[in-house]
Amino acid sequence: MAGGSITQQELESWLWGAADILRGPVDPDNFRDFIFPMLFLKRLSDTWDDEHAAAVAEWGDDLDDEIAADFHKFDIPAGCHWNDLRRAAENHGVLIQEITQKIEQANPDRLAAGPVAAYDLLVIAPLDMPRHGA
């Protein structure tokens, strides 16, 4: 690196190496099989966190599992949140597959129409979810 600059090729190589550290070596042809589920999990987890914060803001210490469920579009089983993936030291590719399978099993009615419908529910659907006691 002359004068602190880096070539496009060096940058791409460095970024690909960083991605290998996160997910393990993946054939570029199979990269979409890894990145799309990872992005979906991140969005799902962020949405769940926002919904949970809204439930806590409305119900405070009176919030229980039944009330909280009314705030969530999807169930995220224990150990299947984005933060759980981040805490893993290795085997991220295998773990993301296991997590997405558990999420599918926990949400059969919501994910029956496929990932595009699930994405639409997360991104496009209005936030007029029924609220417990409302």
Measured in residues, the chain has a length of: 134
Residue pair 66/131 in contact by the 8 Å Cβ criterion: no
Residue 73's pLDDT band, with cuts at 50, 70 and 90, is confident
81-115 residue pLDDT tens: 999 999 988 878 788 889 988 998 898 887 765 55
Closest CA to 77 of 38, 108, 122: 108
Residue 78: its pLDDT value, please?
Answer: 95
Residue 104: its pLDDT value, please?
Answer: 87
113-132 residue pLDDT tens: 555 445 555 544 444 444 33
Residue pair 107/47 in contact by the 8 Å Cβ criterion: no
Residue pair 96/40 in contact by the 8 Å Cβ criterion: no
More confident site: 84 or 1: 84
Residue pair 77/106 in contact by the 8 Å Cβ criterion: yes
Residue 50: its pLDDT value, please?
Answer: 95
Closest CA to 72 of 129, 133, 111: 129
Record the pTM.
0.63
